[in-house]
Chains A and B, each alone.
Chain A
Amino acid sequence: MNRARRIAERVTDPELPMLSLADLGVLRDVEVVGSSHVVVDITPTYSGCPAMAAMRDDLVRELSGAGFDRVEVRVSLDPPWTTDWITPTGRAALAAAGISPPGPAPSTTGPIPLTLSPTARQVRCPQCGSPATELVSEFGSTACKAQYRCCDCLEPFDHVKEI
């Protein structure tokens, strides 16, 4: 049981290889059923995230390689993933890799108010630490990231969007 969990937790996100699935918060549950059958629950970050299939394949390969004959990867859609589930270790790993970690996720109960000005975030440059940063685009290199630019060191960088 613990062994299966350890192996599953080690699998990394294909787009963010510095992050394990556990640190990303997409690994919901690892359950060993019988002697060599393991059931893993994962949750998608975004509905269309193309990394899901790779995560599933990686989990199956790693667990099969460790001797589990039957590996079942299930999708939990509910409750929806939120960036609040990224662990402190995961946030530190993102920052160390030059990606700005997300702030607290906004509430998504009730009607979602229209925001006509750029989303106000306290984003620090992951390269030089400057708080003087500006949003380039709410949509970045993957569905889950926005593009920023540092006004001091001028480096562009990705910011994981709060959802």
Chain B
Amino acid sequence: MADHIHTSPEDEHDSAYSGLLVNDAHWAFGTATESIGFGEDPLAGVDTTIPEGVDAVTLSTYALMLGDDSLVMSHRIAEWTSNAPDLEDDIALSNIALDLLGQARLLLARAAKADESAVPPLPEGSPAPPEDALAFFREAHEFRNVRFAEVVNGDFAEATVRVLLFSVWRLATFEKLRESRDHVLSAVAAKGVKELAYHRDYAARWFVTLARGTDESRTRLITALDSLWPLWPELFDTHPVEAAAAEAGVGVDPASVREAAEAVLDQVFTAADVEPSQAPRRSGVLGKTGRDGMHGEPLSRMLAEMQSVARAHLRGQW
């Protein structure tokens, strides 16, 4: 059957594959060419002026933290593609990963635009845009995501709890980030809240369904909650960069959204008849956590896979 992929000139017009075989140079980095367009800058036309009185490195690092959360979480959820229990949930999880990837792209592009020195150097002639350089050419210790985003996937109950906790927290953050003095961050947040509301409600409904389902589904859900709960408090720690970004009016102090996030979570727990987990907080390493670049081994393994194609094909061509 594989022979059918190779089309003869006569039937090429009818082949669903023929379009894939044409012009796939630059596949990795999109198809726009500098000669006719303006490349692929996702922030082209957006006001990227740094607001008055805001330190560029603070703004860049803050955007990097949010962008890394979205990127790493997106990759973990994308690992569910073709592995979910049914087609609808496979598509739902893929959609959620895609939304987060879109948010990550804008946030990493913002980090790069605010402080170009944050972007790792690329090989001569590489067409990778700055947000891709940040995603694919940094080492694990340079990632600033919360550790919650990076833990290895479990079963579907674990995916439900993971998406619920992450999106409850992130939505509470983005609701406030809409007021950011930085035009890019406020725009990303205004758009992101609509997407995150779908993610949160999707996961919340599954949480209630699994909790009120069978003994097996309830046991798995509570096991998943206990496994992820130790990383929940870290989401509300205030890193000095977040404090400075909040002080400057461009960021949100995570501690300030804890009450709102936990109020939403309580609604879900009540509907599901589930008690909040008592699992103790996971401590940092020498007091350092994800925001400091201190991660577990799973992130290194995840990045090794995620970055392998970009690093093997430096010009994005093969």
Contacts and interface: CB of A to CB of B under 8 A. Distances in A.
Given A111-B260, A116-B271, A143-B95, A41 B187 contact: no
A44 B102 contact: yes
Interface residues of B, number: 53
B208 to A, nearest CB: 6
Interface in A38-95: 41, 44, 46-50, 53, 56-57, 60-61, 64, 71-81
- Interface pairs A-B: 6 shortest CB-CB: A74-B45, A48-B102, A47-B102, A77-B187, A139-B92, A78-B187
Contacts of B106: 47, 77
B135 to A, nearest CB: 14
B267 interface: yes
Interface in B66-101: 88-89, 91-92, 94-96, 98-101
Contact of A75 (B45, B89, B197, B202): B45
11 contacts: A46-B99, A53-B40, A64-B36, A74-B46, A77-B188, A108-B190, A108-B194, A112-B197, A114-B267, A116-B204, A139-B92
Tell me which of A44, A48, A141, A143 has the highest count of chain B C-beta atoms within 10 A of its own C-beta: A48
B190 A80 contact: yes
A66 B126 CA distance: 32
A56 to B, nearest CB: 6
Given A47-B106, A47-B195, A57 B202 contact: no
Nearest to A147: B88
Nearest to A28: B45
A114 B200 contact: yes
Main secondary structure of the interface of B (DSSP, over half): helix
Given A47-B192, A75-B42, A143 B99 contact: yes
Interface in B98-129: 98-103, 105-106
Interface string A106-121: 0010111011111100
- Interface footprint category on A: 35 or more
B165 interface: no
B184 interface: yes
B87 to A, nearest CB: 9
Contacts of A137: 88-89, 91-92
A76 B188 CA distance: 11
Nearest to B70: A47
Tell me which of B88, B89, B191, B204 has the highest count of chain A C-beta atoms within 10 A of its own C-beta: B191
B186 A78 contact: yes
A73 B37 CA distance: 7
A49 B43 CA distance: 15
Contacts of B205: 116-118
